Amino acid sequence: MTDRNGRGPAGSAETLRERALASLSTARERTALLTSCLDDHELTAQHSPLMSPLVWDLAHVGNQEELWLLREVGGHAALRPEIDGLYDAFEHSRAERPSLPLLPPGEARRYAAEVRGRVLDLLEGAAFDDSPFTADGFVFGMVAQHEQQHDETMLITHQLRRGPAVLTAPDPGPAPVHGGPAEVLVPGGPFVMGTSDEPWALDNERPAHPVDVAPFYLDTAPVTNAAFLAFMEDGGYHDPRWWRPEGFAHLRARAVEAPSYWRREGGQWLRRRFGVTEPVPPDEPVLHVSWYEADAYARWAGRRLPTEAEWEKAARHDPATGRSRRYPWGDEEPSREHANLGQRHLRPAPAGSFPAGRSPLGVGQLIGDVWEWTSSDFLPYPGFAAFPYREYSEVFFGTEYKVLRGGSFAVDPVACRGTFRNWDLPVRRQIFSGFRTARSALPERVGPADGVPGGGAT
């Protein structure tokens, strides 16, 4: 029997070792899947200036694994010290990485494999003591999460590339008939946000702290393509009333009139998805929309985006017990019945799917399917402490980035929790982003954004 953190009866070293091995192996299998299906030319090409060449990611995950596990934990000498700078994400922007003397694909694979072989030897004798790095296997979990995050980034690159499909996956089944309400009331009051005891939680998720949230209504499912199309057909992309001025200027400058990868042809909307062109499915959550698009839709609908605290309360708070769960459905790890995660499907599931994953209040698909934009800036929690390095979170704090929550179909369960925080610039559309809307249960002003700094988002 395991405890709420997936550990054995005493959090045994063997149980932690097995969890670390499984997480690292799953990540590496996915990395291999995403890179073995393309030839060397496609691996070294830059498919978009927003993304690195896939071969950079391939060696970068190996380099980070060497830095943190072999050198930091194991005390080993550097295998390839001359490449550290090439694969430092803060030393070279994505746009300039193709011009660097990167390891060619074969050499990058051999390097990553050599690192992994030595890591497995290290793991066999790892002491999960009370040091911040090794307690509960944290550093192994951090490295596994890092590789899975890059796997999601590589999947984004697959979506951006032009050419025939090279990835396949079964489609999710049809959504069960759900006659429930379109929104639910989330009661006001305090709840515990964040975590202080989730072993593999990252620094921006910590510490746990009380937050008082006013009562509000929240959509029970993400906004669908059909609902977003109604906004488009009502002239939503051309009406500045619904847009932040900077967002409207951005979309006009780039002639944006639909979510990324959509095009109108023969009287219907089509989309390109991993090399396949298909009709836009009306019942799926809308995907590849920016924060500005999500915010404009919400205003058009007379609603708003939820704050990050509202999202987390809806996802974690159990009104019956007053405690915060790990996930909407409880404390157990995600299963296929709970959520669409891990690249099991190459698309979101229809709205209303996964009834077993709903929260106690009946809110569904809070985990998986699409990252959900919130109205909140990416800021530290009270008592935040950077760990193990400032560049993971601290350097991004401020008003420039908006928070996304919940994870997408491209996120592995190891990098997805009820407390997990993602962030990006409000113009970004290449990420697997969607949203759901909210409204206050108390009187508030929502609607046109003109001349209203911050608008109706609270």
**SS3 for 118?**
helix
Q: What's the token pair of residue 260?
A: 């990324």
Residues 425/154, Cβ–Cβ less than 8 Å: no
% of the chain beyond a pLDDT of 90 = 91
Instruction: Over range 339-355, report the average pLDDT.
Output: 97
How much is the pLDDT for 130? 85
Instruction: State how far the Cα of 309 lies from the Cα of 457, in Å rounded to an integer.
Output: 12
Name beta bridge partners: 324: 317
Instruction: State how far the Cα of 71 lies from the Cα of 74, in Å rounded to an integer.
Output: 5
Q: What's the token pair of residue 227?
A: 């609902």
Instruction: State how far the Cα of 129 lies from the Cα of 334, in Å rounded to an integer.
Output: 27
Establish how many alpha carbons lie within 13 A of residue 186's alpha carbon, considering only the half-sphere containing its beta carbon: 32
Give the residue from 67, 41, 69 showing the smallest Cα distance to 55.
41
Residues 286/416, Cβ–Cβ less than 8 Å: no
Instruction: Over range 302-309, report the average pLDDT.
Output: 98
Name beta bridge partners: 422: 404
Question: Is pLDDT of 401 > 70?
Answer: yes
Tell me how far apart the 2 most distant CA atoms of the chain are, in Å: 64
Residues 159/274, Cβ–Cβ less than 8 Å: yes
Q: What's the token pair of residue 453?
A: 């700094």
Per-residue CA distances from 304 to 372, 374, 435, 454 (Å): 13, 9, 10, 11
Instruction: State how far the Cα of 434 lies from the Cα of 311, in Å rounded to an integer.
Output: 14
Residue 431, Ramachandran bin (φ over 0: left; ψ between -120 and 50: alpha; else beta): beta
Question: Is pLDDT of 10 > 50?
Answer: no
Q: How many CB atoms lie within 10 A of CB 104?
A: 13
Instruction: State how far the Cα of 62 lies from the Cα of 110, in Å rounded to an integer.
Output: 10
For 384, phi and psi rounded to 5 degrees? -55, 140
Q: What is the CA radius of gyration of the chain?
A: 22
How much is the pLDDT for 178? 66
**SS3 for 58?**
helix
pLDDT bin (cut points 50, 70, 90) of residue 127 is confident
How much is the pLDDT for 445? 56
Question: Is pLDDT of 363 > 90?
Answer: yes
Give pLDDT tens digits for 39-84. Answer: 999 999 999 999 999 999 999 999 999 999 999 999 999 999 999 9
How much is the pLDDT for 444? 64
Instruction: Over range 313-341, report the average pLDDT.
Output: 97
Instruction: Over range 107-130, report the average pLDDT.
Output: 96
How much is the pLDDT for 447? 61
Question: Is pLDDT of 255 > 60?
Answer: yes
Instruction: Over range 96-101, report the average pLDDT.
Output: 96
Residues 223/232, Cβ–Cβ less than 8 Å: no
Q: What's the token pair of residue 128?
A: 């999960």
Look over the chain and give the mean of its residue pLDDT values, rounded to a whole number. Answer: 93
Question: Is pLDDT of 4 > 60?
Answer: no
Give the residue from 306, 304, 286 showing the smallest Cα distance to 232.
286
Instruction: State how far the Cα of 307 lies from the Cα of 404, in Å rounded to an integer.
Output: 10
Give pLDDT tens digits for 207-228. Answer: 999 999 999 999 999 999 999 9
How much is the pLDDT for 55? 98
Instruction: State how far the Cα of 100 lies from the Cα of 14, in Å rounded to an integer.
Output: 42
Residues 287/370, Cβ–Cβ less than 8 Å: yes
Instruction: Over range 135-153, report the average pLDDT.
Output: 97
Question: Is pLDDT of 453 > 60?
Answer: no
Which residue is associated with the tokens 């709903």?
358
Per-residue CA distances from 108 to 40, 58, 74, 311, 382 (Å): 11, 6, 22, 40, 41
129 burial level (CB within 10 Å; 0-12, 13-18, 19+):
exposed
Q: How many CB atoms lie within 10 A of CB 282?
A: 14
Name beta bridge partners: 398: 378
How much is the pLDDT for 442? 83
Give pLDDT tens digits for 409-446. Answer: 999 999 999 999 999 999 999 999 999 999 999 876 55
Instruction: Over range 221-243, report the average pLDDT.
Output: 98
Contacts of 237 (CB under 8 A, 6+ apart): 251, 256, 257, 258
Question: Is pLDDT of 457 > 50?
Answer: no
Instruction: Over range 23-31, report the average pLDDT.
Output: 98
Per-residue CA distances from 148 to 6, 26, 31, 158, 415 (Å): 19, 9, 8, 15, 7
Instruction: Over range 361-387, report the average pLDDT.
Output: 98
How much is the pLDDT for 326? 98
